[in-house]
Structure 1
Amino acid sequence: MSTTVPPAARISGDGRREANAASVLRAVLDHGPVARSGIARLSGLSPAAVSRQCTDLARLGLVCEVPELVAASGVGRPQIPVDLRTGGAGGPLVAGVHIGVPGADFGLTDLRGTVVARQQLPHDGIPAAGLPDHLGRALARFIAERTPAGAKVLGAGTAIGGWVAPETGTVVRHDALGWHQRPLAAELRRHTGLPVRVDNHARAVAQSELLFGRPEARRSLLHLFVGNVVDAALSIAGVVHSGPRSGAGDVAHLPVPDSRVACPCGRTGCLEATVCDTRLTRRAMERGIIPEPHIGLLVDAATAGDRRADALLRERARAVGRATGLLLDVLNPDLVVITETSSTLQPAYLDEIRTAAISHAHVCDDPDRIQIPHAGPAILVVAAATIVLDPLFKSPLQTFADTAAALPSA
């Protein structure tokens, strides 16, 4: 993976110092453990600038030297590698929260996007008005109980479906949860005392792919999320598109070729109505395949050999693939990432998506351009944490200072 942060030689003053710090931190993320001379070569900075930034970043607890990795050549001054200070080295952590329709997923993640603790919280049946307080209390307990002694949690990133305004931390509209203009960031912060950032889960996964995933994502990326809600995110040249009022990515009513499923909007063949978890698990219950509407149970049944479950999942995969083919023709991204439970867990369903997509697309004949998320089944908690980590990597000195000022006193 190559470092894409450009040299900051033409920036002056504090802006130059911040850009230099971001270049160094990104080089260490992509290539660490790496010697300072290697960082200088990768970032285009002078050795002196790299040394200053490593000192600043080490003081903040973001990087550390790894002397045990020094090669014992005996020639010249040894080059001590620098790496991110991750969970194993007592580094800072970030809480990630994915809020779904039947439940939430909590995680603690280090600077490399590695999940060090995780917990699921069912919340089906809790009234919409009381759900933020329920989640906030549970999140506070999770952080208190699962944070290692001496570790610092820098903040909480929260990923959720629907229309989200990240600049205000507001859920503008989430029909399945019954939330409209919900100040979610403020509500969660009241319970945790931590800085909280909120974004749409499709954009969060896209940003996670840019930060931790495949290099081609940094050229252009389409992410399609298929769950109880269906939405998407587009990134060009490393920037995730939000659009006016952060409304980009609503593909729920994209027409699926050959689908005749009725949609609440009054039309037929809309993507969300055709492929969402809600419809799929309801059909599975009607056929006696699973006892309750949970997508994991359906995948488990297929894995155990239930041909009816397998047929339903393959049918959905083909519909997702047909819609993906349309999006490939319109956007022609370097990489398509699809977050969908069965294809994330079983390669056979990803193959179904790829085959259907390529057979319907006119501009793409390469199935390998369609992939599952880099973090596999943990992607949603990693993506939620990325909502906090991405600003840290882009502007480490200022973001860390703002975060430290917002944290409760020890």
Structure 2
Amino acid sequence: MSPRPNRPLPLATPAGIEVLTKILTQGPIPRVEIARRTGLSQAAVTKAVAPLIEAGFVTDQPVAADPDAHIESQLGIGRPVSPLTVVADSVSVIGLKVTPTDLIGVTTDFTAGIRAVRHCRLPDTAAETVTAKLIELARQLIEEIEDPASLAGPLVGIGVAVSGDVDAVHGVVRDSPFMGWRDVPLAASLTDSLDVPVVVTNDVRALTVAEHWFGVGVNADSFAVVTIGSGVGCGLYINGEVVSGAHGVSGELGHLPLAPGELVCTCGRRGCVETVASSDAILARARETTGKPTLDLSGAIELAHAGNDDAREAFDRAGEVIGSALAAMVNLVGPELVVIAGEGVADYDLYEQRMREAFAAHAFGAAGDCRLMLRSHTFDDWARGAAATVIRSYVRGEPPLRR
């Protein structure tokens, strides 16, 4: 049996979960507004909030109404409104991001606000090595949380974000080509050593959860997060939920077969988007077209910005394939917004025009109205995404964070 959170939430009903979710993602927010957005009665909202306030998870701070504002509610025009706000320091969460070269760890509060950051270099990608380093990094962060001087809330869980096919229900990394892992029971190993609930999830899906609960997706009906860097990933928020897929796989934009068939992907298949659009693929193409086998990525970017047609061709080709892949995804699921993120967006200007042209050429009808938005992310943000998945599971009472 997995350990329970150090600080259980007093949520006994689905209404309580819905109310806390609204306060957490959309607060500060008055009770009457929660009632309007959820369809619950004000009495039901008050009943759900009372134990949360008593336990110190939520606070009720009266705010004087703006004399120039027209506030119309069941509280009356111009009367003081008492918004409900989550007490950020009521709990702490740890988020860990795994890359082939580094581990990134963050401590966040209940609102996914980053409070501490630690990085750790990896000597290799062997599962045993990485697991040991994750445990070491997590213990360092736990010590900081437990330091009385930190004033941090109790730790309720640890989230780990890993690229590839991840079985989040059982905490198993089924296949991560970048790490060279297959069927690694990561959550069980970490839980046994740390005695803390652990959630392991796909890194792009974790980033999507963070955007859904604490970012651009808070008020969006549907959106997608597309990450461009060493790989090309996609997370989807459709019909009120981040899509996980029947088998735990969804949104694998980087493995759509839209590139030339002779190109072999890191996954072992041919013609994947990543064979043209990943940073490694762009660099390989730039080396080939410029005849500079020792060229690094920054050098390729510099040449392309300087107008070198051979270097530019690699970015143009990537933009063409990314735009086509975006159009295919938007045609299929119809999000209102696509957030383009990841370490590769720093060079977005090099392929933006070709990408948008390809998207416009292949988007069907009104799907072409979907907004494409650039949002820069650091590896710290990926770790924060892992923490956000823990916060969501904690509020919902999902395994292994049972209340």
Contact 2:159-2:390 within 8 A present in 1 as well: yes
Distance change in 2, residues 1:316/1:106 (3 Å): farther
Aligned partner of 1:236 in structure 2 is 238
Task: Verify: 1:84 aligned to 2:86, yes or no.
Answer: yes
Distance change in 2, residues 1:274/1:20 (3 Å): same
Aligned partner of 1:4 in structure 2 is none
C-alpha separation in 2, matches of 1:77 and 1:221? 37
Contact 1:358-1:367 within 8 A present in 2 as well: no
Aligned partner of 1:6 in structure 2 is none
Equivalent of 1:327 in 314, 326, 329:
329
Report the Cα offset of residue 302 of structure 1: 4.6
C-alpha separation in 2, matches of 1:20 and 1:363? 39
Q: Which amino acid in the other structure matches residue 119 of structure 2? A: Q
Equivalent of 1:270 in 269, 272, 275:
272
Report the Cα offset of residue 343 of structure 1: 2.0
Distance change in 2, residues 1:123/1:146 (3 Å): farther
Judge which range, 316-325 or 260-269, deviates more.
Answer: 260-269
Contact 1:302-1:310 within 8 A present in 2 as well: no
Contact 1:103-1:123 within 8 A present in 2 as well: yes
Report the Cα offset of residue 133 of structure 1: 1.1
Query: Deviation string for 1:87-127 (max 9, x for gaps)?
Result: xxx33221111212222221122333322222332325353
Task: Verify: 1:25 aligned to 2:20, yes or no.
Answer: yes
C-alpha separation in 2, matches of 1:109 and 1:42? 27
Aligned partner of 1:9 in structure 2 is none
SS in 1 for 2:29: coil
Report the Cα offset of residue 237 of structure 1: 0.3
What TM-score, normalized to structure 2? 0.77
Within 5 Å, give how 1:4-403 maps onto structure 2.
17-67=12-62, 69-71=63-65, 78-86=80-88, 90-145=89-144, 148-215=150-217, 219-256=221-258, 261-263=263-265, 268-281=270-283, 287-290=293-296, 302=302, 312-313=314-315, 315-343=317-345, 350=352, 352-363=354-365, 366=368, 369-373=371-375, 378-393=380-395, 395=396, 398=397, 403=401
Q: Which amino acid in the other structure matches residue 211 of structure 1? A: W
| Structure 2: gaps (5+ residues) | 1-10, 68-76
SS in 1 for 2:227: strand
Query: Deviation string for 1:355-409 (max 9, x for gaps)?
Result: 332233333564652224586765412321121122234x3xx469x8587xxxx
Contact 1:113-1:382 within 8 A present in 2 as well: yes
RMSD, aligned α-carbons: 3.8
Contact 2:253-2:325 within 8 A present in 1 as well: no
Contact 2:259-2:273 within 8 A present in 1 as well: no
Report the Cα offset of residue 331 of structure 1: 3.1
Contact 2:156-2:394 within 8 A present in 1 as well: no
Q: Which amino acid in the other structure matches residue 20 of structure 2? A: L
Aligned residues: 376
C-alpha separation in 1, matches of 2:119 and 2:127? 19
Q: Which amino acid in the other structure matches residue 112 of structure 1? A: T
Aligned partner of 1:12 in structure 2 is none
Report the Cα offset of residue 175 of structure 1: 2.7
C-alpha separation in 2, matches of 1:336 and 1:70? 38
Query: Deviation string for 1:191-225 (max 9, x for gaps)?
Result: 43321001112222232332233358853333333
Distance change in 2, residues 1:304/1:318 (3 Å): closer
Q: Which amino acid in the other structure matches residue 381 of structure 1? A: A
Contact 1:344-1:376 within 8 A present in 2 as well: no
SS in 2 for 1:244: coil
**Identity value in percent:** 26
C-alpha separation in 2, matches of 1:351 and 1:91? 46
Q: Which amino acid in the other structure matches residue 132 of structure 2? A: D
C-alpha separation in 1, matches of 2:169 and 2:276? 32
Q: Which amino acid in the other structure matches residue 51 of structure 1? A: T
SS in 2 for 1:245: coil
Aligned partner of 2:5 in structure 1 is none
SS in 2 for 1:197: strand
Report the Cα offset of residue 303 of structure 1: 11
Contact 2:162-2:201 within 8 A present in 1 as well: yes
Aligned partner of 2:7 in structure 1 is none
Distance change in 2, residues 1:47/1:123 (3 Å): same
Contact 1:257-1:322 within 8 A present in 2 as well: no
Report the Cα offset of residue 312 of structure 1: 4.9
